Amino acid sequence: MWWKVILIVLGSIFVLITLAVIFGNIIFNRKVNHEVSELIIKSKESEPQVITEEDIKTLPEPIQRYLRYTQVIGKEKIRAVRLKQRGYFRQKPDQSWMPFTAEQYYTTDPPAFVWKASLKAFLLISIKVRDMYYEGKGNMLVKLPPFVTIADARGDEIDQGTLLRYLNEIMWFPTAYLSDYIQWEPVNSSSAKAIMSYQGVTASAITYFNEKGEMTNFAAERYMTVDGQYVLETWSTPIREYREINGIRIPTMGEGVWKLSSGDFSYIRLEITELEYASPW
């Protein structure tokens, strides 16, 4: 019967598409795993260094209060981090939220990260994203399996944005706020200015704290893509849900918000599901 032939053809097409997607995912994951290995290899091996009150005494009072709250005093400086996330993402205010899961690796000397995410965009196909900050350069790679490249963004604006992202996400390994590439300036009793300079790129942010010592927000001028052009806008990351993991208090829930003239645009909401501090070399 003709309908049996159609079913066989459709089944064959489905199998071919599925195999192509699987093959595309394998290639993507191999690339990211290689980048993670390179990041770890470049990380400098050093003697363990314990954080003391002496190390924080010259910092603005709010950041001192925050570091005490996180319980890093008396603990070794963190050199490498591996974590997992889940959450929701959208590109425009009128878009539906897409669920995602992600895995991320960091080193602190030198500062670097690789973020690998899978966004559920269609019934059977997920968009693959790799964001990277390495040797002072940023690169955002977006793939639609099996072989379609949606974005491969790099350049000065991306370098600035990924540096700011790294500076922001130190909240998950707060001993790195004491790194040589970060300077602090006082603002008032509940905020301080963090300035990060690395490989010729400098960016700054205002960090906000409550009386308890928790960091509650982080705001900076960051480049946003609008109709294919880069526009400098205010970017903030409201923070909530602190939890103690591996003896350190960190925020486990938050979101990313663009403060636009048309109103606030929340584009990502996430939760930390796993976190491990390691020395993988």
The percent of residues in the chain predicted with pLDDT above 90, rounded, is: 72
Report all structural domains of the chain as residue ranges with CATH numbers, in order of start.
2-44+51-277 (2.50.20)
**Mean pLDDT within 150-172:** 96
Could you tell me if residue 62 is left (phi over 0), alpha (psi between -120 and 50 degrees) or otherwise beta?
A: alpha
Q: Is 145 exposed, middle or buried (0-12, 13-18, 19+ CB in 10 A)?
A: buried
**Mean pLDDT within 45-68:** 93
Q: Are the CB atoms for 194 and 203 separated by under 8 Å?
A: no
- 207-232 tens-digit pLDDT: 999 999 999 999 999 999 888 899 99
- 14-54 tens-digit pLDDT: 444 454 455 556 666 676 666 767 777 777 776 788 999 99
Residue 9 has pLDDT above 50, yes or no: no
Where does the pLDDT of residue 273 fall: very low under 50, low under 70, confident under 90, or very high at 90 and above? very high
The predicted pLDDT at position 242 comes to 96
Residue 184 has pLDDT above 70, yes or no: yes
Q: Are the CB atoms for 79 and 108 separated by under 8 Å?
A: yes
pTM assigned to the model: 0.88
- 78-137 tens-digit pLDDT: 999 999 999 999 999 999 999 999 999 999 999 999 999 999 877 667 899 999 999 999
The Cα 122–Cα 109 span in angstroms is: 39
162 or 280, higher pLDDT: 162
DSSP codes joined into one string, the chain: -HHHHHHHHHHHHHHHHHHHHHHHHHHHHHHHHHHHHHHHHHSPP----B--HHHHTTS-HHHHHHHHHHT-TTSBPP-EEEEEEEEEE-SSTTSPPEEEEEEEEEEETTEEEEEEEEEE-SSS-EEEEEEEEETTEEEEEEEETTTEEEEEE-SHHHHHHHHHHHHHHGGGSGGGGGSTTEEEEEEETTEEEEEEEETTEEEEEEEEE-TTS-EEEEEEEEEEEETTEEEEEEEE--EEEEEEETTEEEEEEEEEEEEETTEEEEEEEEEEEEEEE----
The predicted pLDDT at position 24 comes to 56
